Amino acid sequence: MSKTILEIDNVSRVFPGVRGGAPVQALEPTNLQVAENDFITILGPSGCGKSTLLRIVAGLDRPSGGRVMLNGREIKGPGADRGMVFQSYTLFPWLTIAENIAYGLREKGIPQAQRDEIVASYTDKVGLRGFENHYPKQLSGGMQQRTAIARALANDPAILLLDEPFGALDNQTRGLMQELLLGIWERERKTVLFVTHDIEEAIFLASRVVVMSARPGRIKADISVDLPHPRHYTMKTTPEFSSLKAQLTEEIRHEALQADAAH
Amino acid sequence: MPRPLDPVSQGTRVVLGISFFVIFFAAWAVATLGGFVSRTFLADPITMLQEGWLLLTRFGFLNDIGVTIWRVVGGFILAALIAVPLGILMGAYKSCEAFLEPFVSFARYLPASAFVPLLILWAGIGEMQKLLVIFIGSVFQIILMVAVAVGNTRRDLVEAAYTLGSSDRSVVRRVLIPANAPDIAEILRLVLGWAWTYVIVAELIGSSSGIGHMIIDSQALLATGQMIFGILIIGIIGLISDFLFKALNRSLFPWRLA
């Protein structure tokens, strides 16, 4: 087991009640250790607090209790050491694709020549060569999310956080994006925390699937995925994959039913 | 029959746009040349053009036009220089907004024209007074509208910037400002139109030059042709400045159209 890079320590989140209502416990005290170079997917039905947990790790939300440690230092706010890809398209519309990827590098004060080199290498990795001077609006949703991944990776963060990044894409594009992301991970072994509600996606990408339950959100199961790398999309039809999928479907279905009954 | 929200071709658009001007002038010509309206109260289009030509060639009206444009642009730029940064500050920092917004909202309703007598007392009847009328008329409007635009910046873009290592200052400089630059330019274009109303009011009282002054002078002579010519000139200048502003915005912010 390699060293723990991220430690989520008793993190909870309570949202204050809206218009005099009772406060909502979005996240029960939660513990999770993330080892370096691991690819962890957090799987759960909507409203299970998985996005809240990720936003707390990103520093975009504050925990009501507990703390998150990255490389032994407590997270107090957002920073360049945690790259984030959002579900919504968050490329800066006034910047070209290349300028978007270079955004964090400029923030760090990296000289132009070196910046161009890094941008070129990541444009290649996500297959966007030839689109450097396009504006985000001119690109499809899948291409925009590829740019967003490149933009986050170019910054060389200690950990990459993805919040249902392919949730708005059509099925075919989503499959291709999964392969692209997994391919990058297989080469670079960047530590990844990936939030999704798609069971197949969770298994295909992960070395570990963390299943969360809803209302209040908490971790329900932690299942390691020992499928060999490199993974090919045909793996999704193997018996091993199917049995994992069946197991997780049961876990999630139970949760979804409970969440539904609570409404 | 056209259907709701159905687009119309560029050619049809131009033809339709021009035809209303034609109808308007035709109706005017019929009413005046046909003798339906007394010449004392409304000059016919031909007289208007003749008198306008005289104004331009004999009475140095071009100079008046120049003076008025200078006042509008001067007062407007002064207002924009102060209002845009303040608006950005208010939009970005909620404490700034809480501090200034109530006063600015109140000041926005103070009619600029009502300040004319007071400003004459304070600043005399020189150029400064004209600039101040336009300044007062524009500055609060720009502040508020810019603050609202900046305050409505997409939160996810700001969050993305933070996760890419932006500091608070650099979020303002590299996200809030560029994200809203086209909207700010659009606000300026709108308020410039209003500034034209204020300048004429300022020139109607205590002025010795400018389009407004010419109109007041013509009233004494019952020269309705000249008055209408003056009003039309303002409209034409407004149209031209609007066109230039739009063209400038298009070339400055290609990403909006991409």
Q: What domains lie within chain A, and their CATH numbers?
A: 1-81+160-168+191-263 (3.40.50.300)
Give pTM, 2 decimals.
0.86
Cα B2 from Cα B17, distance rounded (Å): 17
A chain contacts of residue B253, beta-carbon cutoff 8 Å: 94
Subunit contact A152:B163, Cβ cutoff 8 A: yes
Subunit contact A59:B162, Cβ cutoff 8 A: yes
Cα B153 from Cα B135, distance rounded (Å): 27
Length of chain B: 258
User: Which pair of tokens denotes residue A2?
Assistant: 């390699």
- The per-residue pLDDT for range B92-145, each reduced to its tens digit, is 999 999 999 999 999 989 888 888 888 888 888 888 888 999 999 999 999 999
Subunit contact B163:A151, Cβ cutoff 8 A: no
- The per-residue pLDDT for range A171-190, each reduced to its tens digit, is 889 999 999 999 999 998 89
B chain contacts of residue A104, beta-carbon cutoff 8 Å: 164-165
Q: What domains lie within chain B, and their CATH numbers?
A: 45-257 (1.10.3720.10)
What pLDDT shows up at residue A1? 52
Interval A1-20 mean pLDDT: 85
What pLDDT shows up at residue B41? 85
Subunit contact B255:A94, Cβ cutoff 8 A: yes
The answer to whether residue A220 neighbours chain B at the CB level (below 8 Å) is no
Subunit contact A60:B166, Cβ cutoff 8 A: no
What pLDDT shows up at residue B186? 92
Which comes out higher in pLDDT, residue A57 or B200?
Answer: A57
Could you write out the DSSP letters of every residue in chain B?
A: -PPTT----HHHHHHHHHHHHHHHHHHHHHHHHTTSS-TTT---HHHHHHHHHHHHHHS-HHHHHHHHHHHHHHHHHHHHHHHHHHHHHHHH-HHHHHHHHHHHHHHHTS-GGGGHHHHHHHHTTSHHHHHHHHHHHHHHHHHHHHHHHHHTS-HHHHHHHHHTT--HHHHIIIIIHHHHHHHHHHHHHHHHHHHHHHHHHHHHSS-SSSHHHHHHHHHHTT-HHHHHHHHHHHHHHHHHHHHHHHHHHHHH-HHHH-
Q: Which residue of B has its CA nearest to A102?
A: B164
Chain A and chain B share a number of CB contacts under 8 A equal to: 74
Are A44 and A252 in contact by the 8 Å Cβ rule? The answer is yes
The answer to whether residue A79 neighbours chain B at the CB level (below 8 Å) is yes
B chain contacts of residue A105, beta-carbon cutoff 8 Å: none
Subunit contact B174:A58, Cβ cutoff 8 A: no
* Predicted complex ipTM exceeds 0.95: no
The answer to whether residue A154 neighbours chain B at the CB level (below 8 Å) is no
Subunit contact B164:A104, Cβ cutoff 8 A: yes
